[in-house]
Amino acid sequence: MMNYNKLTPEEEYIILHKGTEMPFTGVYTNLKDAGTYICKRCNTPLYKSEDKFESHCGWPSFDDEIPGAVKRVMDRDGRRVEIVCANCEGHLGHVFEGERFTAKNTRHCVNSLSMIFVPKEG
C-alpha cells in the first residue's frame, strides 16, 4: 500500500467518496498565481497554472492536464465524465467538452480540496 497524505473529513468526503465542495468556496477558484496543482492525496502533479482559466462555474477550471496525470471514468449518474488522479484514483471533479470556453474546448471542473497548489519558484 502506498503512503498517502492524511486527509481531513471534508477532504475524504470529496476525494474518497466522490463528493463536491460548495461552488465559489474553494481556495483556488480565483487563484491566478503561476505554479502547479498537485493531488492532495498522493502529490502527483495534475495541472499547470497556464492551463487554468476563468469559467465562472464556481470551481477551478483547466482546459488541459499534465499528460498521463488524470484519468476519465464514466460517472455513476451515467451522464457526466468523472476525473480522478491517475496515480491514486482520488476524485478530482468532472470534465466537460463542447462548451467553447477556450480553444481546447475542454473544461476540467476540479474541487479545490482535491489539490494542493505549489507556487512556481523564482
Which ranges of the chain have pLDDT less than 50? Answer: none
109 is catalytic: yes
pLDDT recorded at residue 58: 96
pTM of model > 0.85: yes
SS (H, E, C) 61-111: EECCCCCCCEEEEECCCCCCEEEEECCCCCEEEEEEECCCCCCCCEEEEEC
Within a 13 Å sphere around the CA of 50, how many CA atoms are in the beta-carbon half? 2
pLDDT recorded at residue 77: 84
pLDDT recorded at residue 103: 96
pLDDT recorded at residue 1: 56
CATH class for the region spanning 9-119: mainly beta
The grid coordinates of residue 55 equal: 469559467
Q: How many other CB atoms are there within 10 angstroms of residue 100's CB atom?
A: 8
CA-based nearest residue to 62, from 21, 17, 94: 94
